Each structure stands twice: as C-alpha cells, then as structure tokens.
Structure 1
C-alpha cells in the first residue's frame, strides 16, 4: 500500500513539474478553417492576451480543407506534448457523422475548454428582396428550389441550421457549401448568393456596416450582443428550432492533465478580461471558459443530438 501511495505521489509531483516547465516555446492553435471565418476571428481575439498569460506566443495556424477534417486530423496525429491544440467549432461533433474521418472524436482528443457559445446567423444580401426570415419561407413556397443559401461547408453547423430550417418549415431551398466562412461571406456580399447562414463572428462586422441584413439567430434566446435580432423560433413560431454553436479548444489525447488544466485556467482568465469579453460580445459570442469535464459532456450529448437530426432531415453529403 505504501508503494502505491509513493507511486501516486511521484506521478502527481511529475505532473506539477511538467506544468511548471510548460510552455518552453510557442504554442500552436490549429484552426481547421481558412482565414476570415468565425473560428479564425475568435482565435485571433484571444491570441495576444493568451500569449501574455502563457509567457510564450500563441500561433494561429489555419489549415482548412474537407470541412475542417484535415486540420482536425493533424491535431489527432500530433505529439501530446502541449504545443499543438485544436481550436475548432461545433462541427467537430458533426463531421464524424457525415464524413469518413481518420480519428475518433472521443478517443483521440482531450477536451480543454468550451470557450464561447455563439448562434448561427441567417443574413441576406441587401439587394435581395428579403427583409425578414419569414420572407424566406414565403419566397421558397412560391418558388421551390430557386432560393439558394450559402454555408461554411458540408456538415457544418451552418449547413445543419439550413437543413433544419427546411425541415421545420417544409420549404425547398438549395444549399451552396463553401470552404469556410470567409469565402461564403465574400460571395454573399457580392450578391452571388442571396442568403447566408454563418456564425455571428464571421458576419457581424458586415452587418454593422450595412453590407449584410441580419434576419434571425438560430439559438433559443436572443443574443446579448445583438438583442435586436430575433430568433428563428420566435419569428416563425417554430419552438423546436434551435442550433447552438460553440468554439472550443482540444488537445491531442494523452496530453498531460496538468498542461490541460493550465491552458484551461489561462483561457478562463483571458476571456474575463474586459476588453476581450467586450470583443467577444461584439462578435455575438457568449464567453464561457468551461472546464474540460463540461466540454466532454457537451461533445457526448451533441454526438447523439446531431445523429438524430441528420437522420430526421435525411442529410447526405454530395
């Protein structure tokens, strides 16, 4: 028994030593989407202040491709030494249900923190004859299959939000997948597509500049950073419509728990700084900074939830 106690004590001391020595060099956040999208925006808001807290630079490394799968695979295969993390969004729990991926969401990643909760935003090109989300339903029923909406990619929360809108309102609108929020927003600004569903951080600057018309958010409650934008549920009187997205940080599995705990602590501290919190709110984000255990529960629950929605909506990739 004494040997077991000594072994546990030695392991605990070793873990503390690892945390005290870490980081000894820059830390890399792999964002599995192109620059300019919501995930990239949130990561860069945290980057500078988080670097100060850690004592070494945080590098944001955009590795877009395959709807976030390529960058996610890179982290799954990375060394579990605390120098590579995955900064991603809630499509992390959707991709495995739609793609053949070379990783297991629950087995290959260590949850660190659910950083920000954020709605998807349904917005329109100002030149389109769409003033409200109800107009989408009216036009789609009059002209089935003629109205198009952009998303940030196949299998992403913005795609799911659009498919759920079609399901709950019994309309036929056409999905146009892009490779990230940046390209999707750019084409909507140019009028190539009349509608976009995208995370709020990817579009709020354009909404405030009058370049996009905000129609509705996909969460059950209005967003505190933009309380004038109605929810889909209230605007269309469909109470069972809800898509709540988030941004979170994961480490490769087997990353030392002490490093995970240190990173979570720094994130929680960073998002409570007044200027960082204000920037997140302006982007439509609701700062959370959760524990690893909370994020783990969210991942497990959403894997079940999205599997049911995908089956109900008959969502298949092209």
Structure 2
C-alpha cells in the first residue's frame, strides 16, 4: 500500500512534466499556431511599397489565422535596423520581417550589418515591385532621353534620392547612372516618403521609386514618370515605358520582391502555415485586383521557390555591386 501511495504521489508530477514540453510546442508553433499576436516588422517608413504590401497581407492573415498580425515600422540604414531586430528575435514564428530585396539581400552586401540573407528563412512571397524613374514636374527634362542628356552634360550638378543605402531603388539608380556614365550625388533617406517629399520640393533631382509609391503622386501631377525599371511595363501604369524599351540599355531589368521572412530556425510547420494562408489569398482575383491597385504584381509561390528566388538575387547583386565598385570589402 505504501508503494502504491508513493507511485500516486510522484506519478502525477512526472506526467505533468512530460506534458509541459508538448504544451509549450503547441503554444509556440505546433498545431495551435498562432496562439498569440504576431509582430511583422517593416524596416521602412509607412507608405513605402513593402509597408503597403505587408499591411494588405497581414489584414488577411489576421482574419484567416484567428490572431492579430500587427505591423511595427523600424526604419533606418537601408532596412538594416528592422531586419537586424528580426534576425535576433526568437525563432518561434511570432516575429516576422516584411522583407525585400534591398533589406534582406543587398544591405548586407553593401554595408556592415550584423546579419546576412542566410539569417532568414522564407515565410511567404507577396509581390514583385518594379520602380519608376521620376523627377518633380518642374524639372526641365520632358522625357527620358532629355533627362539622360541633361544629366550627362552636367556631371556632379544633380542629385538622386533613394530610400536608403543598399535599397533596391539605390541600386537601380546606380545601375542606370553607370549605364550612361552619369555622375550625380546620392542622397539616401530612411524611406521613400521623405525622399519623395524632397524630390517634389526640388531638394533632390531624380530618383527611382516603386510603382506603389509613385502612382498617386503621378496622378496628382506632383511628379513626372519617365520609365520603369522592369523589362515589361506595369499593368498598374501601362503608359510608362520600360527603360529597356526607350533607351540603349536593352538588358535593364530590375524589380525587387516583397515577402514575409522569419528568423533562421523557425519551425517548418509554422512557415508552411503562413505560406499556405498567404498563397491561398494571393491567388484570388480579389487579391490580384487589390494589389494591382497599389501598383504591385502578386507573386504567390511556395517557400522552396521563394528561397530559390532570394538565393539567386544574392548572386545577382553580389556581381552588380562589384561591377559598380560598391561591394563591401
């Protein structure tokens, strides 16, 4: 009898101890994910294309997955500030990065950062985002040929803005300048909103910015759109020709991706849940129409394909930065 009492006394705590890891797994990323709100860090200021896309998707994920997916903006250093914060976060699926080519791929190649692209794993591809070459409407060049001629004729006189060192818009402008031997001063900002403000007021002269950010300003008559960075025109702004279409740079084709990334080590089942919910939504006509209205082309794909895209861009931009003489030594 004494032995039976001892067995009962110690069996319950032992059983409880054995169940605790299972409960913790369920709460952190197993069948119950998400069991609490999920923070999605946007490493840019509000209003930038990554921010716009992430807000649209997280609104859907909040409904579809039953817990809040909320946005936190952490801009700075070409997307490196917010990206580094996510890279250091627990790999449990409750802190995600609204990543892009610039913040995930380019920034670590260009600048001293405490993370690399390998510190993240794909959670959900959202969209592809080409950019448009723009100036204020008061700028004297009326088309891209006039713009190129003016910039080439006045080396060092003009300046170009970007959403930050290492951002895709920075590299698009550098590649454009290199292609035509243009010498201009780079003025980096903490996001495209501030850059756009200074462009409109004439503090800087030209820049590349995403279709999502530019479309409204073009319609309002505040900026002039010259050409788009991708080889194909954007369905959102079909009247704007591609650079490859109207200049000598026939191979110019640069468009950044936008997607949710997670810290390396995040459970695969968590990543699969996020990807499945995102892909199901992005494949609907309603989602395609909504994102097109924001100047973005949805690009739903599984995470294996997303990883191939990101890895391919590491190679692409490594070579481009070396060619431009901008690669970090």
Q: What TM-score, normalized to structure 1? A: 0.90
- Residue 20 (structure 1) shift: 2.5
Match of 1:64 in 2: 75
SS where residue 240 of structure 2 aligns?
Answer: coil
SS where residue 312 of structure 1 aligns?
Answer: helix
Distance 2:140 2:321 in 1: 30
- Residue 99 (structure 1) shift: 1.2
Q: Which has the larger radius of gyration?
A: 2
Seen in structure 2, the aligned counterparts of structure 1 residues 18 and 176 have a Cα distance that, compared at 3 Å, is closer
8 Å Cα contact 1:19/1:262 also seen in 2: no
Q: How do 1:178-217 residues align onto structure 2 when only pairs under 5 Å count? A: 178-217=189-228
Once the two structures are superposed, residues 272-307 of structure 1 have per-residue CA deviations (whole angstroms, 9 ceiling, x without a partner) of 344432221122211012211111111211111111
Distance 2:45 2:87 in 1: 19
Seen in structure 2, the aligned counterparts of structure 1 residues 224 and 312 have a Cα distance that, compared at 3 Å, is same
Match of 1:55 in 2: 66
Structure 1 runs not aligned, ≥5 long: 1-10
- Residue 316 (structure 1) shift: 6.1
- Residue 19 (structure 1) shift: 4.1
Which among 28, 33, 37 is matched to residue 26 of structure 1? 37
Distance 1:78 1:18 in 2: 15
Which among 94, 97, 100 is matched to residue 112 of structure 2? 100
8 Å Cα contact 2:105/2:116 also seen in 1: no
- Residue 183 (structure 1) shift: 0.6
- Residue 57 (structure 1) shift: 1.2
Distance 1:209 1:269 in 2: 34
8 Å Cα contact 2:101/2:258 also seen in 1: yes
- Residue 153 (structure 1) shift: 0.9
Please say if 1:160 is aligned against 2:171. Answer: yes
Match of 1:276 in 2: 287
Q: How do 1:132-147 residues align onto structure 2 when only pairs under 5 Å count? A: 132-147=143-158
Distance 2:246 2:158 in 1: 19
- Residue 114 (structure 1) shift: 2.0
Which among 292, 295, 306 is matched to residue 306 of structure 2? 295
Q: State the number of aligned residues.
A: 304
Distance 2:277 2:215 in 1: 27
Range with bigger deviation, 94-103 or 266-275: 266-275
- Residue 104 (structure 1) shift: 2.9
Range with bigger deviation, 186-195 or 84-93: 186-195
Which among 236, 242, 245 is matched to residue 231 of structure 1? 242
List structure 1 segments (4+ residues) > 4 angstroms apart after TM superposition: none
Range with bigger deviation, 56-65 or 164-173: 164-173
8 Å Cα contact 2:212/2:296 also seen in 1: yes
Distance 1:199 1:117 in 2: 10
SS where residue 86 of structure 1 aligns?
Answer: strand
Distance 2:96 2:84 in 1: 11
8 Å Cα contact 1:163/1:315 also seen in 2: no
